[in-house]
Amino acid sequence: MLPITTKRLILRRMTPQDIPALQRIGGDPRVAPNLFSVTSPWPAEAVEHWIETSQFADRLGFRLGIALRERPDELIGTVGIGGAPVSVSYFVDLARNDQGFATEAAGALLEFCRNTFQLRTVTADYYCDNPASGRVLEKLGFVHVGQDVGTSPARAGPAPITLMRLDLP
């Protein structure tokens, strides 16, 4: 079951030892504005609570840390799934951008959830000024279904988002 492994990655439970990496990656002022629940900087207490409330518990509504197979203790990002409707989310260290890690991790998570929970439909959204996230979703087969407005505590105000949907086979 867990961890989930791919050719290059391990998707594993997060621990308190991951707090500094999550603070650095998710709290980066270039990353946090693209996330719907993260501040910049991201305080350790908030990261600890985020980890505690997103642990895998044999149901949808969890996050996993993303690590390279050769360095399983060092997080390079996270991937999660949950909500109503069920939605996938992710973030990866900017130093690891353009290497396909977000696509690989999200694809593995979706496959796991399809098989484990018989998941058939997943949504996602991204801020329109973050087209790289849209490309990740498109590579996974998501299609555009609309526009809306989202808020992030790391943004000055509401911003346009693109809504996506994926029907799993």
For residue 169, the model assigns a pLDDT of: 86
For residue 122, the model assigns a pLDDT of: 98
Q: What confidence tens digit (pLDDT) does each residue in 11-49 have?
A: 999 999 999 999 999 999 999 999 999 999 999 999 999
For residue 85, cis peptide bond before it (omega within 30 degrees of 0): yes
Pick the closest to residue 51 from 80, 15, 82 (CA basis): 15
Give the confidence band of 1 by pLDDT, cuts at 50, 70, 90.
confident
Query: Are 94 and 31 within 8 A, CB to CB?
Result: yes
Q: Which residues of 114-124 are buried (b: 16+ CB within 10 A; e: fewer)?
A: eeeeebeebbb
Q: What confidence tens digit (pLDDT) does each residue in 62-117 have?
A: 999 999 999 999 999 999 999 999 999 999 999 999 999 999 999 999 999 999 99
Give the residue-averaged pLDDT of 132-145: 98
Strand partners, 63: 80
For residue 81, the model assigns a pLDDT of: 98
Encoding tokens for residue 60?
């949808």
If you compute the radius of gyration of the chain from its CA atoms, what whole number of angstroms results? 15
* pTM confidence score: 0.96
Provide the CA 124 distance to its chain's centre, in angstroms. Answer: 10
Angle of helix 101-117 versus helix 131-139 axis, rounded to 10:
50
Strand partners, 11: 4, 66
Longest dimension (CA), the chain: 40
Q: Give burial (CB, 10 Å; 0-12/13-18/19+) of 29.
A: exposed
pLDDT exceeds 90 at position 51: yes
Give the residue-averaged pLDDT of 149-166: 97
